[in-house]
Structure formats: structure tokens, C-alpha cells
Chain A
């Protein structure tokens, strides 16, 4: 069965510092991987995805993620964090059998001035 894990419930970063939000996955076959962000009391917004091709994927708001097949990871990164990046981040993998999106448990990112 496909699954994703986000090992950190919370990540704290100072504004201007680089940030990383971790995600590991377990799939059979080639993974379709996604990152979504959720601001308080809002729905999820798509940030980026990896389907195939270049392992470094660039997305919205200056975020990027690196697909690492050997480590089965898809960590979200940003070179310089903003206070406005504070939100809940979800990693997700597409279930290759049923087609549904399977979400990780989420990581709360807090960026302090």
C-alpha cells in the first residue's frame, strides 16, 4: 500500500533562513508526489509535484522539492523563509491502484521574525 510520512509535527525557522520540511514515501512503482499548503481555516493549495524528469521540482511561492529515489524522500525546501510561509504543509502521494491522493499527517511550519 502507498503511504507518505512526515516525521516532524512542527518546524521552527527564523525569517531569512533556509527551511526544509521532510517527507518520505512508500510506493510500488513510480511515485506521483505532491506538496500542498494549508493556511488557517482555509482549503489546501497546490505547491508543486513530481511525476517524472528532473529530480528538482520548482513550485509556487519560491518553494522547491527534491525527489530522491534511493532515500525515498521528497523534501520541501525554500532558500529564505518568510513569516507569511507559516502554515500547515502536507506531502501526498497518488495511490497507483485507486487513484486517490494519500496525505501525510502534516507539518506545522512556524517562521518567526
Chain B
């Protein structure tokens, strides 16, 4: 089945130790998003790619970076994780942006920072 896959499901890292979360999709969608969700709050958009064009949200900390080497894969890099970065990280895709298309979400990666 076509889907959005996030690995790992759970990630534990140490304070200040760089960590990378991965997302892959078989939907061939142009747009890929990274959201941060804390404690059942509303997902907060960190950034998104429209094809190779990177769009950073104004309030996304510099500590968060992303790479999209090809259509199928997208990575979230947290350069120096702090305790406040512990959260569920959700990857999502859509066929395009700006219209009525729905988002397809992965199951998320739950990040713990010790």
C-alpha cells in the first residue's frame, strides 16, 4: 500500500547530541512537511518542501534543519537537541500546496531527550 513511513518509531537521544529522523513516501507527492506535536497539542509546522524548494516557518528554531535528497525521502536533523525538543515529530505529504488537497501523515517518531 502507498504510504508515508517514519523511522524510527521511538528515538532516544542525549541532550546536545545530534539526531536525524527519517521519512519516506511511496505516494510520489510533490510536497513533504515536518510537524512537531507536543502532548496532544495541535501539530506545529516546522517546514515543508515543494519539490526541492525549502520553505521554513518563521518561528522554527535554527536548531532544526531538513534535507530532501529525492522525491521519496525527507530527513529532519536536530543539531543540538534540548529538553524542550522532546515531542512527536510527524511527517506528511500532499500532492501540491495551497488548495483543497488532503495531507497524508506518517505514524510519527516520538523523540525523547535525556
Q: Which of A43, A45, A101, A106 contacts B45 (CB 8 A)?
A: A101
Contact A34 B102 (CB under 8 A): yes
Is B18 an interface residue, CB under 8 A from the partner? no
B104 on the A face (CB < 8 A): yes
Over the window 47-62 of chain A, the binary record of Cβ atoms lying under 8 Å from chain B Cβ atoms (1 yes, 0 no) is: 0010100000000000
A37 to B87, CA, bound (A): 18
Question: Within 8 Å of chain A (Cβ to Cβ): is B61?
Answer: no
Q: Interface residue tally of chain B, by bracket?
A: 20 to 34
Q: Select A46's contact among B6, B57, B102, B106, beta carbons within 8 Å.
A: B102
Interface residues of chain A: helix, strand, loop or mixed (majority): strand
Q: Is the CB of A99 within 8 A of B98?
A: yes
25 pairs, A vs B, C-beta closer than 8 Å: A32-B99, A34-B102, A36-B105, A38-B40, A41-B107, A42-B107, A43-B6, A43-B107, A44-B90, A44-B105, A46-B103, A46-B104, A49-B102, A90-B42, A94-B99, A94-B100, A99-B98, A100-B45, A101-B45, A101-B103, A103-B43, A105-B42, A106-B41, A106-B42, A108-B40
Hey, which bits of chain B sit against chain A, CB under 8 A? 4, 6, 33, 40-43, 45, 48, 57, 90, 92, 97-100, 102-108, 110
